[in-house]
Amino acid sequence: MTLDSFKIEILPLKDKLYRFSLRILGNHAEAEDVVQEVMIKIWKDRENLGKIKNLEAWCMRLTKNLSIDKTRGKHFNLNAIPDNFDMVQISAGPQKLAELSDIMQKVKKLMKELPDMQRMAMQLRDVEGMSYKEIAEILELQLDQVKVNIHRARKFIRHKLIKEESYGL
């Protein structure tokens, strides 16, 4: 891999890798360190990158593994969804914007209650927009397990939101 191909293929992934690491670590500085370590490791191993089928999934898995290694000995805590994730149409009125903002804050809060694997799978699917196959590679799970984790996470959040709306809890 040349420097130019590294810039074209790998560097655009750094924001996605950072968000994923931040989700796992909950600390901006540590997430930046992990992404830097990933970039260095990729550059050092650039001669063998041609053997990798899905480079993005491999980078995400590397980020996941390094991030989890950093959590060893600490409380495992995934951070909130990025603030700018809940982009809303500009044409929406102030009331609709307020409602959507409130719902997004509730979803962020509820995601913290999910089990780790469900939380990571939901982050990768619904926030990062990755395919089930890519998530399976990153989390090193069977495709069916990924689907089950995402289904259960969405069902939990949907149930909690409906319950809160119905009963005001």
The CATH code of the domain that includes 134 is: 1.10.10.10
Indicate whether this model's pTM tops 0.75: no
- Enumerate residues 6+ apart whose C-beta is below 8 A from 152: 118
Instruction: Please count the structural domains in the chain.
Output: 2
- Residues present in the chain in total: 169
- Enumerate residues 6+ apart whose C-beta is below 8 A from 78: 23, 24, 26, 111, 112, 116, 119, 120, 123
Q: Which domain holds residue 7?
A: 3-71
Same domain, 28 and 98: no
Same domain, 64 and 33: yes
> Could you tell me if residue 160 is inside a domain?
yes
Same domain, 162 and 97: yes
104 burial type by CB count under 10 A (0-12 exposed, 13-18 middle, 19+ buried): middle
Q: CA 155 to CA 150: how far, in whole Å?
A: 8
CATH classification at residue 42: 1.10.1740.10
pLDDT of residue 76: 42
Same domain, 27 and 58: yes
Rounded to 5°, the CA angle 71-108-163 comes to: 125
> Could you tell me if residue 79 is inside a domain?
no
Exposure of 17 in the CB half-sphere (CA atoms within 13 A): 27
Over its length of 169 residues, how does the chain's per-residue pLDDT go in tens digits? 788 888 888 889 999 999 988 888 888 888 999 999 999 998 888 888 888 888 888 899 899 889 888 877 444 444 445 555 544 455 567 777 777 777 778 888 888 889 989 988 998 888 888 889 889 988 889 999 999 999 999 999 999 888 877 775 5
> Could you tell me if residue 8 is inside a domain?
yes
138 burial type by CB count under 10 A (0-12 exposed, 13-18 middle, 19+ buried): buried
Domain end marker among 71, 101, 125: 71
Helices 94-111 and 143-167 pack at an angle, to 10 degrees, of 120
Domain end marker among 71, 99, 122: 71
Same domain, 67 and 97: no
Domain end marker among 12, 44, 71: 71
pLDDT of residue 15: 92
